[in-house]
A and B are shown apart, each in its own frame.
Chain A
Amino acid sequence: MGDTYKIAIVGSGPGGLSAAAHAAKLGVSHVLLERTDHLSDTIYKYQKGKYVMSTPDVLPLRSDATFSAGKRETILDSWNKTIAELKTNVRYNSEVVAVQKDGDVFNLKIADGAVIQAEAVVLAIGLQGNLNKLRVEGAELPLVQYQLDDPEEYEAETIVVIGAGDAGIENAIALAKQNSVILVNRSSEFARIKQGNLALITNAIEKGDIQCYHSAETAKVEPKAITLQVPDGQARVACDRIIARLGASAPRKFVESCGIKFPNEDRTSLPEVSPTYESNVPGLYIIGALGGYPLIKQAMNQGYEVVEYIIGNRIAPADQPLLEKKFAGLKSVDVEAVLSEIREVIPVWHSLNPLQLREVMLDSTVHVLKNGETVFKRNDYTNSFFTVLRGSVGIQIDPNDSTKVVTLGPGAFFGEMGLISGRRRTATVLAASDCVLFETPRRTMLKLVQSVDSLRRTLDQVAIMRQVQTHLAPGVPAAELKELVETAEIQKFKAGDVIFAQGDKGDHMHLIRSGSCTVSMRVGGRDVVLSYVPSGNYIGEMALLSDAPRSATVKAAHNVETVCIKGDAFKRVLDRNAALKGNVEAKFRQRIKANEQMQKQPEAGSIIEFLIAQGIGEGTDVLLIDESLCVHCDNCEKACAETHGGISRLDREAGPTFATLHVPTSCRHCEHPHCMAECPPNAIHRTPGGEVYIDDSCIGCGNCERNCPYKVIQLAYPPEEKFDLFSWLLMGKGPAPGEAMTYKKNGHDDHGHGHTEKAKRAVKCDMCKGIPGGASCVRACPTGAALRVSPEEFMSVATLSG
């Protein structure tokens, strides 16, 4: 028999090594069993120099090992140092092949034949130790590998990368620098990958750097070739190397042999654990990715906590002090009590598990408001989501009459309309009594909506009712709209999709809740765009009211979500409400008139079409240049550079022109900004005025630059000091107005001044927020050619320039 320990930890990843370090620190007898000859094999095998993120940012790290976002090498070095300093007992080259419980002790069988005994076992093996392998003829040949350590190791090879997940794409892009790369994707498009990677791979394929087979499967591997099953037959590709990145799954056989049960047969299912990370086998604990927590920081915290639990300390989770601070205004320090009150009172949060709820609360802000205080104002450009815990709020539904108020009590939520449409707030909300509210940021909500189905359903049901009441049937009580809302459904359309076509039968209508559409009609054999309809409007009521076929075609200008309303239900609502019927019919007549007007000037329609094709439809504030006035003096660019430290965020000359309307390369402040999607430090925000800007916490990762479809974000070094106009004019000090300072990384500038190394930062138009008077580019245009427009104004711009 071998040695006996209090705790045996299997796997030296972030979770395992954090547990071992804590046990060492506490002087608890322990052993850390690692299959390889180094710590944390998964991170060890990351691409060289890979930048490792430390999300979630708000979660504090609780571990005896250090960890912060940084390069793979730095992180591994610091862990090695900690493990050595704490004299942690690590047993390398020790693959555990079996764990058996014998009375109160576990026997861990090692591959070399040794047996280790322990009172408690922590399984921290993660998933990456069990990579999915190719299961075809020839898969065992030496040209197949499942990992890529250093892409620069290979040169002038033909490499086939199988698997178009994030790992496969990152590998393919890194390899393409000096190899010829072929990517094999099992599905027909790139689904479920990070936006940044999507932009990179699409670009690489377009440029021809990477060749890609979609809907392809591996059929056979030969010593110098691979055969792929593609939609139209088989393709044999000669290659030097095959890198298969097929993901990883729980080493189910091993885990089950330890006595641990899985909830279902699904390949991706993971074992369930108690709040103290204990599995169904008493004394056997599971932490990290195998227990469902794949992030490094979570795993490290769990490592620390599991050791405390094993020695009998029921310590509170790491985020406890943060939540206590957050809830301080509630005059109740008991976090658990507040959390359970939240779960009980607020139905939206009901479906979250305790850990998810804690995360949401960490991201949220608690507002304790006195009666009459404002939560947000109509036309504010905020897009957070609010829930009411105690007290009530009043929503002013009529902008002209502040006495018309709808009151929401405890458990209700509001602010979801801004979240969905990405547009300005539609109503002012005030505290109707002393109340306690939670404000949850947009990013957190989007993540939740994507991952928690029941939350999305609850949200949608209430949202549809409110959207109908706000945009379609104001003043109609909810009871009368019940049938209409219950039969309504949410439909999604991609850019260019036809929502309905001219001549179709019109038995339903759409309320646009996000995105915008164009209405066009076939006149003399060609499509003429009649109008542009932004979100918050309804379409399709004309055919419904007149019982005629659709008179026009409606297409999605970009991603659109509509509430599709059944015609019969709508007609019944109209029959009961004379005032509403009058309104709808008035709008109907107005539309017919407007359509006739537009048919007389088809060039205006062409301009709208052009603007939509440039993606202007999803913008909220777009810079346009009237080329009939522009004298090409570039004062707009110079003004931009001057007010933003020497770097212009707009390129006047670049960008397309139609008639005399020019769309320069400049930020449009999109409704749902693409750049915001994947910012690791969450540095991109939207001000209440609508400007999308990047704050100082930018780390220069370049995700936003890649995610922006309009190429308006650039990475630049922070600028140097500038002098005033007369110092430049008379003394030659500094660069000329509007001219960028030549900044050389870690070197000397033209004047021989030395610099310390600075990191590049992402810069983009911030609409000159904080500068009185508004956007400098427009104010600096001497001829009035530069103008900024919002979607509501497109129609007037189009008719003006026509």
Chain B
Amino acid sequence: MHESILVYRKHRYLKWALALAVVSALFYMIDSPLGQPNGGTWLGYTLGTISGGLMVWLAWFGVRKRRYGLGNVPLEDWLSAHVYLGIALALIATLHAGFQLGFNIHSALYILMMITIISGLVGLYFYISYPRLLTENRRGLSTEVMLAQIAELDRDLRQIAMTMDDATNAATLKATQDTIIGGSLMQQLRGHDEHCPTTQARLFVEGSDGGPQDAQRRQLLTRLIRKEDLLKRIRRDVQLRCLLKVWLYVHIPFSIAALAALVTHVVTVFYYW
């Protein structure tokens, strides 16, 4: 318990996947079929069956994940195996295809599957590197607390700005009203906003001369700087959390498409025997 999926149970599933891959590769090397290696030889059928089985099993993870309280194997075992066997699948399926790629349904399956695997690898990278960044970025505050602090700063800003000149007041009001956190997918992924009204307001106040209201100007400035810092963190938070999820929008649809292509592939192969 309490270890990352990569080292889980002393690399048990890495060993499984390696064994499977090595055995497949060995057979591929010693096998000398008539003509070009392809899916139609005895080894091709065997590797194809293994690949197909693996694909269905890998997709079953989505179902297993939602079967709470059932089965005695912890989900971490499943994910660890899912990751390693998924990577092994890339090799086994390639061997099954005999390194052939064409413009047909079979290659479509191969490409869909590879996109699924690569998106999975991207997801794995995200899962391993981002949690720590996410926690460090938050520095002990939850998203809710950060939002509450921003709301409080906004209240202060509005109050102080009321006593200031019109231009400052307008810039500050814009900062409190038009600052966007999150937004569209691209905005979330960008993690910052180059047209952020808060930054603009800060620049404006920095550049302005408070004159007799210098004390207020300073108060305004400190709050704007604090808000900017919070915004930076919270946008980074949104970005990281978004990244942790966004890869699934590729991984899942392509895995379903690959399953559909798998069915077509198997049916056509046997239909046109």
Spell out A's residues near B (CB within 8 Å): 626-633, 635, 638-639, 642-643, 653-654, 656-658, 660, 662, 725, 737-738, 768, 771-773, 776, 778-785, 787, 797, 800
Contacts and interface: CB of A to CB of B under 8 A. Distances in A.
A441 B234 CA distance: 52
Nearest to A773: B72
Contact of A784 (B71, B76, B130, B140): B76
Given A629-B131, A779-B74, A783-B127, A800 B68 contact: no
Nearest to B248: A633
B195 interface: no
Given A653-B142, A656-B140, A781-B76, A627 B131 contact: yes
**In terms of DSSP, what is the predominant structure of the interface of chain A?**
loop
Contact of B2 (A626, A768, A776, A780): A626
Given A778-B74, A784-B5, 15 more contacts: A632-B131, A635-B65, A642-B68, A653-B142, A654-B142, A658-B140, A725-B63, A725-B66, A737-B66, A768-B69, A776-B69, A779-B74, A782-B65, A782-B76, A782-B78
A768 B70 CA distance: 12
Nearest to A784: B76
A642 to B, nearest CB: 4
B138 interface: yes
A725 B1 contact: no
The 8 closest A-B pairs by CB, nearest first: A642-B68, A643-B69, A639-B68, A627-B135, A782-B79, A628-B132, A784-B76, A779-B74
Given A629-B131, A631-B131, A632-B134, A787 B65 contact: no
Contacts of A787: 1-2
Given A656-B140, A771-B69, A635 B135 contact: no
B131 A776 contact: no
B174 interface: no
Contact of A657 (B79, B135, B241): B135
22 contacts: A627-B132, A629-B131, A632-B131, A632-B244, A635-B65, A642-B66, A653-B142, A653-B143, A654-B142, A657-B135, A658-B140, A738-B66, A773-B74, A776-B68, A779-B69, A779-B75, A780-B65, A783-B4, A784-B1, A784-B2, A784-B4, A800-B2
A583 to B, nearest CB: 32
B209 interface: no
Contacts of B63: 725
Nearest to A783: B5
Nearest to B76: A784
A661 to B, nearest CB: 9
Nearest to A639: B68
A787 B142 CA distance: 20
B67 interface: yes
A800 B67 CA distance: 31
Given A632-B241, A657-B138, A725-B63, A780 B131 contact: no
A734 to B, nearest CB: 13
Interface string B1-12: 111110010000
Nearest to B240: A632
A691 B264 CA distance: 51
A630 B131 contact: yes
Contacts of B130: 631
A781 B72 CA distance: 13
The residue in B8, B76, B143 that gathers the most chain A C-beta atoms within 10 A of its C-beta is: B76
Nearest to B78: A782
Contacts, number: 94
Contacts of A626: 2
**In terms of DSSP, what is the predominant structure of the interface of chain B?**
helix
A632 B244 CA distance: 8
A661 B49 CA distance: 44
The residue in B5, B71, B74, B134 that gathers the most chain A C-beta atoms within 10 A of its C-beta is: B74
Contacts of B142: 653-654
Nearest to A796: B2
A658 B136 CA distance: 10
A632 B71 CA distance: 23
B61 to A, nearest CB: 9
Interface of B: 1-5, 8, 63, 65-69, 71-72, 74-76, 78-79, 126-127, 130-132, 134-135, 138, 140, 142-144, 241, 244
Contacts of B144: 653
Nearest to B5: A783
A632 B74 CA distance: 18
A662 B5 CA distance: 19
A784 to B, nearest CB: 4
Given A627-B132, A780-B75, A785-B131, A638 B68 contact: yes
A631 B127 contact: yes
B67 A725 contact: yes
A725 B66 CA distance: 8
Contacts of A630: 131
Contacts of B66: 638, 642, 725, 737-738
A773 B71 contact: yes
A631 B244 contact: yes
B182 to A, nearest CB: 15
A639 B2 contact: no
The residue in A629, A638, A776 that gathers the most chain B C-beta atoms within 10 A of its C-beta is: A629
The residue in A638, A643, A660, A779 that gathers the most chain B C-beta atoms within 10 A of its C-beta is: A779
Nearest to A633: B244
A737 B131 contact: no
B79 A783 contact: yes
Contacts of A627: 131-132, 134-135
Nearest to B3: A784
A642 B75 CA distance: 15
A632 B135 CA distance: 11
A784 B1 CA distance: 6
A654 B142 CA distance: 8
Nearest to B140: A657
B72 A660 contact: no
A779 B74 CA distance: 4
Contacts of B127: 631, 783
Given A627-B135, A631-B131, A780 B140 contact: no
A738 B140 CA distance: 27
Given A725-B67, A780-B68, A628 B74 contact: no
Contacts of A772: 72
Nearest to A641: B68
A624 to B, nearest CB: 9
Contacts of B72: 772-773
A489 B2 CA distance: 42
Given A626-B2, A780-B75, A660 B241 contact: no
The residue in A771, A778, A782 that gathers the most chain B C-beta atoms within 10 A of its C-beta is: A782
A797 B8 CA distance: 17
Contacts of A657: 135, 138, 140
A658 B72 CA distance: 32
Contacts of B131: 627-632, 783, 785
A639 B79 CA distance: 16
The residue in A737, A771, A780, A785 that gathers the most chain B C-beta atoms within 10 A of its C-beta is: A780
The residue in A632, A635, A638 that gathers the most chain B C-beta atoms within 10 A of its C-beta is: A632
A660 B132 contact: yes
A711 B177 CA distance: 35
Contacts of B67: 725
Contacts of A642: 66, 68-69
Nearest to B69: A643
A660 B135 contact: yes
Contacts of B244: 631-633
The residue in B1, B2, B72 that gathers the most chain A C-beta atoms within 10 A of its C-beta is: B2
Nearest to A801: B2
A114 B130 CA distance: 89
A770 to B, nearest CB: 10
B68 A643 contact: yes
A639 B134 CA distance: 23
A660 B140 CA distance: 9
B138 A782 contact: no
